[in-house]
Amino acid sequence: MTNQAPANKETKPAEAGGTLSRAGRAWRRVILGAGILLIVALWCFRGPLARRAFTQMVLANDAPAAEAEEEMIHNAADPGAAIVAAWNTGKIAHRRLAMQQLSSMISHSPSLNPALHQILLAGTLDPDLDAREMALSALEERGDPALPALSCAQLNDFDPQVRLLGLRHLHKPPARVGLPAVTPLLQETNPEILAYVVKLMAGWSGENFGLRLADAVPAEDENTGLIVFANSSYEKTRAGANRAAAWWQEHKAQYPSIPMEIPAEALAALRPVYASPFVLTGLDGKTVRLSDFHGKTVLLNFWTTWCTACLSELPALVALQKKHQDDVAILGVSLDFVPDEDNPQAGASPEDIRRKVARTTAARGINYPVLLDKNNEVGARFNGGELPTTVIIDSEGRVRRRFVGARSLEVFAAMLAEASRPMPAARAAEHLTGAR
């Protein structure tokens, strides 16, 4: 018996150890099974998960490649929802791509769900003139009943190019709608606008006012790069406008003005578009941040030394800075470093390009900071590849205007005055349709 006692004591730990081993094996089987299920789930849902990750990556980027955003929308389980998501980022590049994709969608099928239709309506009042143009064209293509009111909303804008945009989309409404809307523009001095107004009136009235659109085709001045009209254009368009005005005085009682209200859905979809922050280096080597100018209106002008239209508007910007140096910050963003098929500096060294920008800045008397966007980081967010591009940002960081092409000193001044005024939600559309 004395020999058995120790044996019993030795077997107890072994038995206990065996019990723990079986429990451990059970847990390992549970964990292994869960791992297998997870792998199977990830394998089964790898497509949706990958698409979601790709979508989040694209939307988080301030300036994604156009191909990436197109792929995101085309491969989405719901392309319409992807367009809405891109639009709702509030980023210029995303919104432009979203409007392009929406326009393309309409060309294949005119039917739209309410969310997409609301974006299309709001796009006609967007601060980005490119978005407005695409939205109005899409509304016209689908024969949308909101087109007349939203086209008329452009006619009171400060920018003559916006007024022209509205006129170009007013040829389908009947005379009772169109005539009262366009006749106030007979007082215009811009020959191209006058020619469009008179041409529309001729179509609605059946009269011949002796004026053609070809009589007011602008051309680029070879020396200045400015878009100008021949003296004959002013004479012909004014004579045609006078004849149209005389006809209108005799017949306007037959065409009482019809109130043109902007659709409530368009106003409800308007949201502020905020400029994303950036950091660039100036010609003087100093770092400049957009946030440095919070509290001021900022005018971003994207330009190059070889763009004649860019150079043509520099005197207006210099004059603006002199007049508004206390409350407006003008920033000239040079895209000379960005590869372009029209860029005569292709292949030049970065230092040679910098010196040319510096020489042009000095020769043109530029009195505001010139920033070097060497990698097109900021240009990709706002520019879109066309020059000159101007972006006007108010003191709260909201984009009020984005447009391509030179503008006159008077138009720039009106836009800056507009951007200096508060923009409460109740007046969200007022600054966009800008009563002159």
Residue 49 confidence (pLDDT): 57
Residue 147 confidence (pLDDT): 96
- The residue among 35, 50, 88, 93 whose CA lies nearest residue 69 is 93
In this prediction, residue 14 has a pLDDT band, given cuts at 50, 70 and 90, of very low
Residue 186 confidence (pLDDT): 97
Residue 9 confidence (pLDDT): 47
Mean pLDDT of the chain: 85
Fold of 279-433: Glutaredoxin (3.40.30)
Residues 167-218 have pLDDT tens digits of: 999 998 999 999 999 999 999 999 999 999 999 999 999 999 999 999 998 8
In this prediction, residue 44 has a pLDDT band, given cuts at 50, 70 and 90, of low
Residue 409 confidence (pLDDT): 93
CA distance 66 to 72: 10
Residue 155 confidence (pLDDT): 96
Residue 201 confidence (pLDDT): 97
Any idea where the domains of the chain sit in the sequence?
27-150, 154-259, 279-433
> Is 295 or 10 the better-scoring residue by pLDDT?
295
Task: Answer yes or no: is pLDDT of 42 > 60.
Answer: no
Q: Percent of the chain at pLDDT above 70? A: 83
Helix spans in 313-408 (H)? 314-323, 350-363, 379-382
> Is 14 or 421 the better-scoring residue by pLDDT?
421
CA distances to 45, 70, 82 from 51, rounded to whole Å, are: 10, 13, 11
420 contacts: CB under 8 Å, gap ≥ 6: 297, 327, 394, 395
The backbone torsions φ and ψ at residue 415, rounded to the nearest 5 degrees and listed phi first, read -65, -40
Residues 81-101 have pLDDT tens digits of: 999 999 998 889 889 889 998
* Omega before 388 within 30 of 0, i.e. cis: yes
Residue 167 confidence (pLDDT): 97
Q: How far is CA 106 from the centre of its chain?
A: 19
Residue 27 confidence (pLDDT): 65
In this prediction, residue 30 has a pLDDT band, given cuts at 50, 70 and 90, of low
Residue 104 confidence (pLDDT): 87
Helix spans in 142-215 (H)? 147-152, 160-168, 175-182, 191-205
In this prediction, residue 48 has a pLDDT band, given cuts at 50, 70 and 90, of low
Residue 207 confidence (pLDDT): 96
Residues 314-361 have pLDDT tens digits of: 999 999 999 998 999 999 999 999 887 777 776 789 999 999 999 999
Residue 26 confidence (pLDDT): 63
User: Which range has highest mean pLDDT (68-72, 75-79, 260-264)?
Assistant: 260-264
- The residue among 220, 216, 191, 434 whose CA lies nearest residue 313 is 220
Task: Answer yes or no: is pLDDT of 428 > 50.
Answer: no
